[in-house]
Structure 1
């Protein structure tokens, strides 16, 4: 994984020796917002106006956090406004790379850089911290707007509406207060919970992560038995934030991260719900299972030291979902 310290790259994996074997995710550091008029958003500085061709995304097809932004780019019709580069799925001692030796990896169309960390140091030669995806880049100002996926999807949800005419709202004002605790539980116990289980280095840390994970999946299964979507009859950001974990669950989290009390396909409502979201117009094209399977099994040497990428499972996300009755 490694990290930048004052612009210099330091190799190394997550250090769990001081946390009782527990994985703790670091916070993102670039927190500016694109807005319709360029005014400052809830955090960071202003000056990032929604304009066609100005912004660029660096993503990993393998990464659920980056996947959120690709989904919103598709849902909101931003493909012609926001360009994209895709990193190589292997994340080894040099971190994410912009190599092109895997189908779908694009290289760096802006600078021709080899490593994603060079995009961070292009913005700040003395940058420090983890080098993560997604990265939202401003071509005009030559800097990073944001590397916080939860905020990038909210920018994409509304900032460009005046340019696209697409007013679909996945963060509706009347549901925001109700969405927040749902997002919070899903983030802590599911989105990040699978990582806390998978990267745990003690039994106690693993147990402390895996129990809440499945408690929440049970809760979600019951919720989706009565509601078509998490917040009722409307798709919201809460659904898309959950989807990117669910679509990876049986392929990587169940086995590789030892989240194996049950599979996604063992939950009738969750599995049908995942299929419905996968079949949403444009979404299937954002799912790249080859990158997903390769990245997790090949990159995490501490979890899978022989880097064997397993053959399965076989999942049919295109099967009828039957959720129209809810």
Structure 2
């Protein structure tokens, strides 16, 4: 599941007790970086997994790290490989990601989440720590990055990236869930006001700078984008984050379009999977399971004008090449307009 959590005093509290073993150059945790050894398991519906999809593509890690894609819905047990022939992941040969968790720990007691990286030879999950996964792809896997890959986590900017990203995670990435899963009016009101205070602060910050940190795309932008791209299709209505639509916030809307139109961002987005996941799985929020037909998506292709602020998407690097695992055209019709 993408949002395991509990209710504490009727407010949503995310379960952040992840498997924190890491894949590193020196193999300090017993899992050394090795091209072809591991498989990244994701769902395009999940914002946390979407981060890893974007980073893998921007860095050109497709040959070094294969990717398994689960469908947009799941049951109480876990995400399933229902998009694959026979309902089995073609590499791991399992029907659901839960199986890889149980190979790591037959009594695994916590949430079965994506993204997860699986060690193919043993079939065990190595880590599901979504925040560390992308940072490690950016820093530990450098020898497998494509020529021209951007530096998404420069040493000189690492502290600023984390300082900017921490409140984004707390009040925006996780804040929309706190609104959507609030169990009382008081809890909802508190989460709603915090969310909008921070979105207003981001609107102000990004009015004078093209990217959150530095003059090209970094990990901070990836972390914010996956929430913004889901805002109007899901969070505005489904999670009651409805003071404004993203498309009504001039700066954040232009910033989100700028990123969407950057290779590696918008071409990873499956709007159909995103909507189906939230509106079908969250029956406590949407009991009918009806998936809305809107909103209109054409605006994502409109000019953003952010070039006037300076900076370039990839710094001294280059855009990634053609998409290896394309989204179905009918699931993201914007791409045909770009």
User: Which deviates further from its counterpart, 111-120 or 19-28?
Assistant: 111-120
State the partner residue of 1:259. 241
Would you say the 8 A contact 2:157–2:214 is kept in 1? Answer: no
**Deviation at residue 163 of structure 1 after TM alignment:** 3.0
State the partner residue of 2:112. 131
**Deviation at residue 35 of structure 1 after TM alignment:** 2.0
State the partner residue of 1:10. none
1:174 aligned onto 2:156: yes
**Deviation at residue 160 of structure 1 after TM alignment:** 2.3
Distance 1:310 1:165, change over 3 A: closer
State the partner residue of 2:103. 122
User: Which deviates further from its counterpart, 192-201 or 277-286?
Assistant: 277-286
Give the Cα separation in 2 of the matches to 1:22 and 1:313.
Answer: 28
**Deviation at residue 92 of structure 1 after TM alignment:** 2.9
**Deviation at residue 95 of structure 1 after TM alignment:** 3.0
The one of 91, 97, 103 aligned to 2:80: 97
Q: CA RMSD in A?
A: 2.1
TM-score normalized by structure 1?
0.89
**Deviation at residue 100 of structure 1 after TM alignment:** 2.7
Give the Cα separation in 1 of the matches to 2:138 and 2:5.
Answer: 33
State the partner residue of 1:36. 25
Distance 1:186 1:106, change over 3 A: farther
Unaligned segments of structure 1, at least 5 residues = 4-12
Post-superposition CA distance 1:116-141 (Å, at most 9, x none): 21121022212110111001111245
TM-score normalized by structure 2?
0.86
Give the Cα separation in 1 of the matches to 2:2 and 2:211.
Answer: 38
Give the Cα separation in 2 of the matches to 1:100 and 1:284.
Answer: 21
User: Which deviates further from its counterpart, 310-319 or 285-294?
Assistant: 310-319
State the partner residue of 1:213. 195
The one of 38, 48, 66 aligned to 2:49: 66
- The correspondence of residues 175-214 of structure 1 with structure 2, limited to 5 A, is 175-214=157-196
Unaligned segments of structure 2, at least 5 residues = 310-338
Post-superposition CA distance 1:225-282 (Å, at most 9, x none): 0111111422211111000000000000000000001110111111111111111123
User: Which deviates further from its counterpart, 52-61 or 169-178?
Assistant: 169-178
1:56 is paired with a residue of what secondary structure? strand
Distance 1:15 1:234, change over 3 A: closer
Distance 1:165 1:300, change over 3 A: closer
Q: Tell me the matched-pair count.
A: 307
**Deviation at residue 2 of structure 1 after TM alignment:** 11
